[in-house]
């Protein structure tokens, strides 16, 4: 028996990707930059943890506001569709028929389908929201879940590049270990992300790792130049 495998958790994965990607990259770049400017792992850890706290709150808030915006936009468009169904039924009927005409369905069948759909106003409006406007109704707890997922993912990702500085008192050693650990984490994260979303996993892994490496290298070089100046 054929079993279709489709990915259905795109919003959750998107939030994890947003949080983890920034969590791995930004604190890593900050730690690398500070490693080129200071000679104290304590300062790097303090600054890194402060950045993770601020970053997770800011990212989580951004996820919450984005989720609320999606819900408010959907409700606004839904109200407009209900109004149009009540006040411009003929025009709405033509719009729905155009959707089915695009699939090559005859006008006679179009009329029958629209007659059946319009018997239930809610289903009628839901159909137009999805197929006319391309909008899916967001989950009621979407904003809250998005904020929590992004915030926690940012914290988890951000702690990875800082952990080596907790075990090594020498900044140079901490930087080397942090770079190795973080690049491997980016590689693994990129692979899993690409695998789950149906993208080429090895390409995604390398791409993610290269971006993180470039961000950290840029921060390190700039901090080193300012120190010398």
Q: What percent of the chain has pLDDT over 90?
A: 11
Residue spans of the domains in the chain: they are 10-69+142-228, 77-131
130-155 pLDDT, tens per residue? 878 887 777 778 888 889 999 999 99
Q: Is 200 helix (H, G, I), strand (E, B) or coil?
A: coil
111-126 pLDDT, tens per residue? 888 888 788 888 888 8
182 contacts: CB under 8 Å, gap ≥ 6: 24, 28, 160, 161, 212, 216
């Amino acid at each position: 028996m054929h079993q279709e495998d489709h990915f259905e958790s795109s919003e959750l994965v998107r939030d994890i990707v947003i949080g983890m990607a920034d969590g791995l990259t930004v604190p890593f770049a900050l730690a690398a930059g500070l490693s080129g400017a200071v000679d104290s792992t304590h300062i790097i850890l303090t600054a890194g943890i402060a950045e993770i706290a601020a970053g997770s709150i800011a990212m989580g808030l951004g996820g919450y506001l984005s989720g609320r915006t999606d819900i408010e936009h959907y409700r606004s468009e839904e109200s407009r569709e209900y109004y149009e169904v009540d006040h411009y039924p003929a025009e709405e009927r033509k719009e729905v028929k155009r959707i089915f005409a695009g699939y090559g369905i005859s006008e006679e069948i179009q009329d029958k389908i629209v007659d059946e759909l319009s018997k239930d106003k809610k289903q009628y409006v839901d159909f137009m929201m999805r197929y006319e406007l391309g909008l899916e109704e967001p989950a009621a707890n979407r904003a809250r879940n998005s904020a929590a997922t992004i915030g926690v993912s940012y914290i988890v990702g951000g702690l990875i590049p800082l952990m080596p500085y907790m075990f090594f008192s020498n900044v140079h050693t901490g930087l080397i270990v942090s770079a190795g650990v973080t690049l491997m984490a980016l590689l693994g994260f990129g692979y899993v992300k690409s695998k789950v979303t149906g993208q080429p996993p090895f390409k995604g892994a390398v791409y993610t790792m290269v971006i993180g490496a470039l961000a950290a290298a840029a921060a390190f070089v700039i901090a080193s130049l300012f120190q010398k100046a």
